[in-house]
Chains A and B, each alone.
Chain A
Amino acid sequence: MKRFITLITFLIVVVTSLFAQKGLAVDRLFGNQYKKQKNAIEVLVKGKELRPYKLTLFRSITVKGNLDELLSIERSVKQDAAASIDKETGMIGTHIYYGFYQFPRVNGAYRYLFFRNSALKENSPNEATLVYMEGTATIDELKRMFK
């Protein structure tokens, strides 16, 4: 019986870890409200289509809207920025115009977050784009691939 309980506990741990979140604040933005919004485009690519890019996961959201909505995305990005191990940002005032963040590797995969809020710049579309990527590609490789 003890063995059985141990096994069940082990299975619960395995199942829980399978569905565990990556622990980023931007996670809540993906796969939720933006899927149904008329002013947004959300992209999710996983698996074989990403092999040429040495990536395993690609998620992006492009939202057109008022500045408040775009700044709520920025808040999540700022939250995650604290956990980044490498970053490159361009600020306009106190807001992030563009940002690149690299996070500690998980299961051997690099994790990247890109953000750009064009609404902060005059004569630019009122939109913000957020991209999250996972894979073995280095930042230089990504720059070359998506140039």
Chain B
Amino acid sequence: MKKMINGKHRTKEQWLELERRYFDAETTDEEEQELCRFLCTAEGSDQAFDALRAVMSFMQTGKQVHKSTTVARRHVTIRQRFAIAATIACLLGTSLWLSNMIDPDNVCVAYIHGVKCTDTEEVMKQMHQSMDQVGHDENDITMQGQLKSMMQTLNDETESENK
């Protein structure tokens, strides 16, 4: 049970008792803070509290060092995450830009006898002409083409027989 709130009202014996409890790990956070404040007073500079001062200083320094390392580590982690995110964004951006450069979504172009033409009407006309050219008349094949085919086959056979 806490007897006093303000450290100034404790006697030396009570501070020593609190010190003992501190070393036995029985003090509360509040009491530890009280002890810490007490060590900064003239009364606390007594040689009887040297051991407490040394341990508390060490603990305090340790806490601060640990805290700053953790913060630094967290900063590094955040920085790394930013770097990774930036790298991914750059890669994605570059790949999208490249894909659009190499393979754009909308293209309408013709190269007519070595001259580039981007006039949509002209390009579409060329497209239809290409389709007209590949469209076939089956009669062509059945009449003329097949005859030529037969003649060529006969010629090939004659040539192989002569050999």
Contacts and interface: CB of A to CB of B under 8 A. Distances in A.
A35 B115 CA distance: 8
Given A11-B91, A93-B153, A131-B130, A46 B105 contact: yes
Contacts of A130: 134
B111 A15 contact: no
A48 B109 CA distance: 13
Q: What size tier do the contact residues of chain B reach?
A: 35 or more
Contacts of B134: 98, 100, 114-116, 129-131
Given A14-B95, A92-B148, A4 B84 contact: yes
A97 B110 contact: no
A46 B114 contact: no
A39 B84 contact: no
A2 interface: no
Contacts of B135: 116, 146
Contacts of A62: 129-130, 133
B158 interface: no
B147 to A, nearest CB: 9
Contact of B123 (A18, A45, A47, A120): A45
Interface in A5-21: 7-8, 11, 14-15, 18-19
B137 to A, nearest CB: 9
Given A19-B103, A93-B149, A121-B140, A34 B111 contact: yes
B65 to A, nearest CB: 27
Contacts of B25: none
B136 A36 contact: no
Interface string A74-108: 00000000000000001111100110100000000
A19 B114 contact: no
24 contacts: A8-B87, A15-B99, A18-B103, A19-B98, A19-B99, A40-B111, A40-B113, A45-B123, A48-B106, A49-B124, A60-B127, A62-B129, A90-B136, A90-B145, A93-B153, A94-B152, A98-B136, A98-B141, A116-B134, A116-B135, A120-B145, A120-B148, A121-B140, A146-B131
Given A7-B88, A14-B95, A93-B152, 6 more contacts: A11-B88, A18-B103, A39-B113, A48-B106, A93-B149, A118-B133
